[in-house]
Structure 1
Amino acid sequence: MRLKLVPSETNWDFFRFARFTFGASVLAVVLSIVAFFAFGLNFGIDFRGGTTIRTESTQSVDVAAYRAALTPLGLGDVSISEVFDPTFGEDKHVTQIRIQAQDDQEAITSDTVTAVQEALKVNDPSIRFTSVESVGPKVSGELILTAVKAVVLAMCAVLIYIWLRFEWQFALGAVAALIHDVIVTIGVFAAFQIRFDLAIIAALLTIVGYSINDTVVVFDRLRENLIKYKKMELRQVMNLAVNETLSRTVMTSGTTLIALIALLVLGGDVIRGFVFAMTWGVIVGTYSSVFVAKNIVLFLGVKRDWSKPSGDAGTQFGNIDA
């Protein structure tokens, strides 16, 4: 007996409330842009600059105790993570502490480093600092620019691939869905002031890949149905394609969410921002694959006879299995 989250055959009209769902997506994008400019992003140390302290101790690391010891110092954004390496001996425990730049200074002062060391020695007298390195605002600004370029180039690559694989209408629908996912995710981080660092950029790129994967699956079934049902209305063909791939979509997103929610609850503070971005991205990415990408393709229309090449799209790669 197999578990079925979705019946074998469904006939749900996903475009019945197309105006409302698409309107809600447009509203979410607008509100996200407003939140971004009104509140800004709560940049982490990666983007604001700060100091990284590497410590060693003979005692096992208690991240919660370290954090509690540093909280009274009022250092702002502090990231503490334990470093694991198979070459370390049983009595060698290493941590990495990252402290945001204080008062727009490139590095924290020596007095602050001393205060941090004394606070940690209360819990762990054997602790010692092996290195203290700083990242200045200039480097942080370059990281922001590089991160933006990475996201934009990823979307451009997706646009070109979908255009060659299908048609320009599909490409515009897919990229619009990706832009929707990225902007709404950034809007949530701006509205709730969740820490935004390089790990979140990695999450955004992963969201782009996950979302386009789901979109391409439905697009591929849509193309097959456009050839098979040449006289059926485009809206009905699109509904059929979404219904036929619904079970796969629910199972894929559902199993991914189970793992992500477990990490969100049990993973700890170090990866919580990344996991939250991924969890939100899976949800909004699944939504946009149906209610954003498909609505745009429905609005633009597509050709119905795929046996003839189109002069307006690079469909010469349309028959390649990829």
Structure 2
Amino acid sequence: MKLLKLVPEDTNIKFLKVRVPFFILSILLTIGGWVAVATMGLNYGVDFAGGQEIRATFTETAEAPVVELRETLTALESVEDPIVQRFGGPNEVSIRVKLPPEAEGNPEFANQMTNQIVEAISVNHPDVRIDGVDSVSGKVSGEFRNDAALALLAAMMMVAIYIWIRFEWQFGVGALFALFHDVSVTLGLFALTQMEFSLRIIAAILAIIGYSLNDTIVVYDRIRENLKKYRKMPLPELLDLSVNETLARTVMTSLTLLVALLPLLFFGPASLFGLVAAITAGLFIGTYSSVYLASPLLIWMGVTSDSFVPQETETDIQEKKVLGKL
């Protein structure tokens, strides 16, 4: 039986022909991601924002009364700036409130605040069911944010150092730029959609870094092999050849991941939606950056056809002269 091939063996797509427009697009997407984060902000979950989160379901109501809940909670003296959002189904909500300074290190105060909120909601909505309560102090949430930022920076720097050692410094810079692009676009998507940004999303971004790195290394490894094999081939043509030769592997890897991610995205629990959505988006972003960022950057950073050919030392030249006289 003939095997199914999603990518023909003689594929010859001219990726590098449009490298300049796509590079400009990538720069704009990177800047746009950070502009969105700066202007719209991230919708921090309790992990990063601190406070009390109450997840509730209205068992006998088709849609949760978000506006009424917000008005009810605003009327409470102990509650400041309540955030009420649909979470999961139309009749499910997430209620987030800040904890006052006196609640720091005082679990009883937080419990009393939760009971007060639940009682206020139950008066007008007896069908409410509390599904869960999470509480994180302001100090702990600040530590979470700092640790998460350090984890992302450390991951990208270690990736750059690894590729620098394995290949050359230009490859390390190319990989670092591609990873920075992937993280920036992902953060921008979360700022635009205002999906909850929690520790789960940090795990998703680290997974994106790992996938993008894996794809970039596969392409870089083929580029290095072809640089040794085709000494006289122009670099843009060699990069196109390398990307096309690894295209079948890239497509199969991406499709395999999508087969696992799409059912979770559409039918999985609401608590995992942000995580799965981030990884799914990162799958496409990481593949794009490996092809249109990591590879073309090598041209602009001076990689040539003899980059991996050992340079002759003066001793080698003298030995050749001696052997030529014999």
How many Å apart are 1:206 and its aligned residue? 0.5
In the alignment, structure 1 residue 192 sits paired with structure 2 residue 212: no
How many Å apart are 1:123 and its aligned residue? 5.1
Paired residue type of 1:205: L
Task: Write the deviation string for residues 143-182 of structure 1: whole angstroms up to 9, x where unpaired.
Answer: 1111000000000100110000000011000110000000
Q: Distance in 2 between matches of 1:128 and 1:156?
A: 40
Quick check: 1:79–1:270 contact (8 Å CA) kept in 2?
no
Which is further off, 150-159 or 7-16?
Answer: 7-16
Q: Distance in 2 between matches of 1:20 and 1:246?
A: 21
Partner of 1:229: 230
How many Å apart are 1:33 and its aligned residue? 1.5
Quick check: 1:48–1:100 contact (8 Å CA) kept in 2?
no
Per the normalisation by structure 2, the TM-score is 0.77
Q: Which has the higher helix share?
A: 2
Q: Distance in 2 between matches of 1:34 and 1:216?
A: 30
Quick check: 2:178–2:294 contact (8 Å CA) kept in 1?
yes
Partner of 1:167: 168
Unaligned stretches of 5+ residues in structure 1: 55-61, 82-96, 312-322
Q: Distance in 2 between matches of 1:146 and 1:66?
A: 42
Paired residue type of 1:76: I
Q: Distance in 2 between matches of 1:80 and 1:193?
A: 12
Q: Percent identity?
A: 44
Unaligned stretches of 5+ residues in structure 2: 71-81, 104-108, 314-326
How many Å apart are 1:260 and its aligned residue? 1.3
In the alignment, structure 1 residue 148 sits paired with structure 2 residue 145: no
Task: Write the deviation string for residues 112-157 of structure 1: whole angstroms up to 9, x where unpaired.
Answer: 42442684995599x999xx77322121111111100000000010
How many Å apart are 1:110 and its aligned residue? 1.8
SS of the residue 1:289 aligns to: helix
Q: Distance in 2 between matches of 1:161 and 1:111?
A: 49
Partner of 2:310: 308
Task: Write the deviation string for residues 46-102 of structure 1: whole angstroms up to 9, x where unpaired.
Answer: 111123679xxxxxxx96749977955445357989xxxxxxxxxxxxxxx985333
Q: Distance in 2 between matches of 1:188 and 1:124?
A: 32
Partner of 1:288: 289
Which is further off, 21-30 or 251-260?
Answer: 251-260
The runs of at least 4 consecutive aligned structure 1 residues that moved more than 6 Å come to 66-70, 78-81
Per the normalisation by structure 1, the TM-score is 0.78
Partner of 1:208: 209
Quick check: 2:34–2:188 contact (8 Å CA) kept in 1?
yes
Q: Which protein is bigger by CA-based radius of gyration? A: 2
**Cα distance, 1:310–1:201 mapped onto 2, change above 3 Å:** farther
Structure 1 segment 1-322 matched on structure 2, within 5 A = 1-51=2-52, 65=59, 73-74=69-70, 76=83, 100-102=96-98, 106=103, 108=110, 110=112, 112-116=114-118, 119=122, 122=126, 134-305=135-306, 306-308=308-310
